[in-house]
Copies of this chain bind each other. A is one copy, B any other.
Amino acid sequence: MPDDHGHHLAAETLARRFEDVRARTLALIQPLSPEDCCVQSMPDASPAKWHLAHTTWFFETFVLERFEPGFRAYAPGWRVLFNSYYQTVGAQHARCERGLLTRPSLGEVIAYRRAIDERISTLLMRAAEPELLELIELGIEHEQQHQELIVTDIKHLLSRHPLAPAYDISSEPTRAEAPALRWLSFDGGLVDIGANAHGFSFDNERPRHRAYVAPFEIASRLTTNAEYAAFVDDGGYRDTRWWLAEGWDWIQREHIIQPLYWRGDRLDRREFTLRGEHAIDPSQPVSHLSYYEADAFARWSEARLPTEFEWEHAFACEEAAAIGAMQRIGACWQWTSSSYAPYPGFRPARGAVGEYNGKFMVNQYVLRGGSSATPPGHARLTYRNFFPTHARWQLSGVRLARDLSRA
């Protein structure tokens, strides 16, 4: 256990990290107007302004309210507005009505952020209990998760506009050939899965535990737009053989014929991006797929999705040392065939933050890796992202796997 001096060093480091992450959130909304930040384009997405306020509410509620001497709420009426889903903390404004909150204005929410930032910084200069530091670290990681959501939610909002406006026209798209796909083999066996006690991890990554994995192969890179287009052009969305029954019903009912942001057809295939609408880059990983589409594509490819244990084991192995080349992180989240479930021995945190993850462990599937919208340094080998099978507004793609017969 570190001594007091150690704690204060840790507190200083954390304070700098806190400032950096908070500043990055504000930087994300620079290209946006107050209107862009206020509107909710679907129940699953939240307004950027709400993300700005909710992440601040998280620090105010879980850190200041508990540790700040003489705590007073910044604006008591906002407590309900910016509580996402913490039933233990009190009532919540309905998720699908977050877009109705024209008040407070964007300017008022930014002022709220500044005030709470200052109070957290002050607190960190004076106190350094482990639990305080842990909660601030949780708040920082939480804010990073919302940074990714700000990007994906804004992308969805702009995509619904008939004129396909751009979020950011400054960045240049990378153009590079995709390397050839190779199959990497793993023997499996009894493997260790999950986060250990060192460094930050979410409760859903713990405890580290054993699992048995049969021999398997996994693709050396993500599926590209060109490969997925071949599936589309082969009539993949019209052939029941490739689809889970529920996925087939879903594409019929929703009239789905290609990934979420694809436009046009094989003669003129375009994609809505944060830079507006552009011709599809065939070498880039395909993204914005639902689980159903990822699974159907895998079946058409005579392969399957990896389990989350296979995925984690593959990237933990020395064979996968050339990790950048394998796109562990940085392009799209990678659907696994593993339903989101507690690890054996899982214990949610005590108190309201115990609602962070555990209560969502049903009818969702795990995605691994990270995406171009994930803040640098946020994702880990053991990180578990999760979404329902029809969700496709996240940057979700495919890495194929297949059984390795021991013939």
Contact residues in B for A106 (Cβ distance below 8 Å)? 35
Complex Cα gap A54–B36 (Å) = 20
Interface string of A141-183 (1 = CB under 8 A from B): 0000000000000000100111101000000000000000000
Confirm or deny: A337 has a beta carbon within 8 angstroms of a beta carbon on chain B. Answer: yes
B36 touching A102, Cβ below 8 Å: yes
Given A160-B97, A344-B214, A345-B214, check contact A246 B103 (CB 8 Å). Answer: no
A35 touching B87, Cβ below 8 Å: no
Complex Cα gap A94–B290 (Å) = 25
Contact residues in B for A157 (Cβ distance below 8 Å)? 100, 102
Interface residues of A in 284-309 (CB under 8 A from B): 291-292, 295
> In the complex, which of the residues A39, A106, A241 has the most CB atoms of chain B within 10 Å of its own CB atom?
A39
Contact residues in B for A345 (Cβ distance below 8 Å)? 214, 403
| Interface locus among A7-15, A220-228, A355-363, A392-400 | A355-363
Interface string of A30-42 (1 = CB under 8 A from B): 0001111111010
Complex Cα gap A360–B97 (Å) = 30
Complex Cα gap A162–B94 (Å) = 10
Confirm or deny: A57 has a beta carbon within 8 angstroms of a beta carbon on chain B. Answer: no
Known: A93-B162, A244-B359. 10 other contacts (CB 8 A): A33-B34, A33-B103, A35-B106, A38-B39, A77-B163, A101-B161, A211-B212, A246-B360, A248-B359, A292-B362
Determine how close the nearest CB of chain B comes to the CB of A396; give it in whole angstroms: 15
Contact residues in B for A338 (Cβ distance below 8 Å)? 341
Given A85-B245, A403-B344, check contact A100 B161 (CB 8 Å). Answer: yes
Which of B93, B100, B341 lies in contact with A339, CB distance below 8 A? B341
Chain B residue, CB-CB nearest to A101: B161
A-B contact pairs, 26 of them (CB 8 A): A33-B102, A33-B105, A34-B35, A35-B37, A36-B103, A38-B102, A39-B39, A39-B100, A39-B102, A77-B162, A77-B163, A81-B162, A81-B163, A97-B160, A102-B157, A102-B161, A103-B163, A190-B212, A209-B214, A211-B212, A244-B361, A245-B360, A246-B362, A246-B363, A338-B341, A362-B389
Confirm or deny: A115 has a beta carbon within 8 angstroms of a beta carbon on chain B. Answer: no
Determine how close the nearest CB of chain B comes to the CB of A244; give it in whole angstroms: 5
Contact residues in B for A363 (Cβ distance below 8 Å)? 246, 363, 389
Chain B residue, CB-CB nearest to A343: B214
Contact residues in B for A34 (Cβ distance below 8 Å)? 33-35, 38
Contact residues in B for A325 (Cβ distance below 8 Å)? none
Interface string of A70-95 (1 = CB under 8 A from B): 00000001001100010110000100
Contact residues in B for A165 (Cβ distance below 8 Å)? 103
Which of B35, B77, B344, B403 lies in contact with A35, CB distance below 8 A? B35
The 8 closest A-B pairs by CB, nearest first: A339-B339, A87-B240, A212-B212, A35-B102, A35-B38, A245-B359, A214-B344, A34-B34
Confirm or deny: A247 has a beta carbon within 8 angstroms of a beta carbon on chain B. Answer: yes
Contact residues in B for A103 (Cβ distance below 8 Å)? 33, 35-36, 161, 163, 165
B190 touching A41, Cβ below 8 Å: no
